[in-house]
Amino acid sequence: MSCGRPRPGIDLQVVDEAGKSLAAGQRGEVVARGANVMSEYWEDAENSSVAFRDGFFRTGDIGYQDTAGYLYLVDRIKDMIVTGGEKVFCSEVESVLYEHPAVLEAAVFGVPDPQWGETVMACVALKPHCAVSEQELVQFCRDRLSPYKIPRRVEFSETELPKSGSGKILKRVLRERFWGGKQRAVA
């Protein structure tokens, strides 16, 4: 579903990793500038230099625009997994997991892998009185996703997944066990 088109006075673009504008339909980072878009972080030059490029605020969102200029958000950059050089959008894998009738909640994220850099990991909470095995969920994904997007591991939670005060699943909490003290690289 589209987020709509930019309001007058807002310059919105979808750009590649080098900051070059992408054609309609191509996925990249959403950047914006305008009178109502902040221009810097208050007294924080270091974070401002990272968050802004050529006067545009880097939102951290991955999206694309159609030929009519409508914006579609796909995922967050920090939630994208790079496995063997391929980009996996966590939201795409999560959407497939949510299609399974036994799945109540799902969170997908990358975990370190010596061969591929990262591999796809899923944490799942099941609906009451439902059962499914890791192999069944992996096969369910295999029937619906490209091979590199299939979770290599599925961990089941006995309780609901951890959430923020607003109800959003806290992937960073789930991810911490696998990354330890290492800093996860963000593509």
- Tens of pLDDT, residues 61-72: 999 999 999 999
pLDDT band, residue 108 (cuts 50/70/90): very high
E strands, the chain, where?
10-15, 28-34, 52-53, 56-65, 71-76, 80-83, 86-89, 103-113, 117-126, 153-157
- Tens of pLDDT, residues 154-169: 999 999 999 999 999 9
169 and 149 within one domain: yes
- Tens of pLDDT, residues 86-105: 999 999 999 999 999 999 99
Domain presence at residue 3: no
Task: Supply the pLDDT for residue 111.
Answer: 94
What average pLDDT does range 98-123 have in this prediction? Answer: 96
Domain presence at residue 144: yes
Query: In which domain, by residue range, is 98 found?
Result: 79-179
174 and 88 within one domain: yes
Contacts of 175 (CB under 8 A, 6+ apart): 109, 110, 111, 184
pTM attached to this predicted model:
0.78
Q: Tell me how many domains the chain contains.
A: 2
Check which CATH number belongs to the domain holding 102 and give it.
Answer: 3.30.300.30
pLDDT band, residue 184 (cuts 50/70/90): low
pLDDT > 50? residue 41: yes
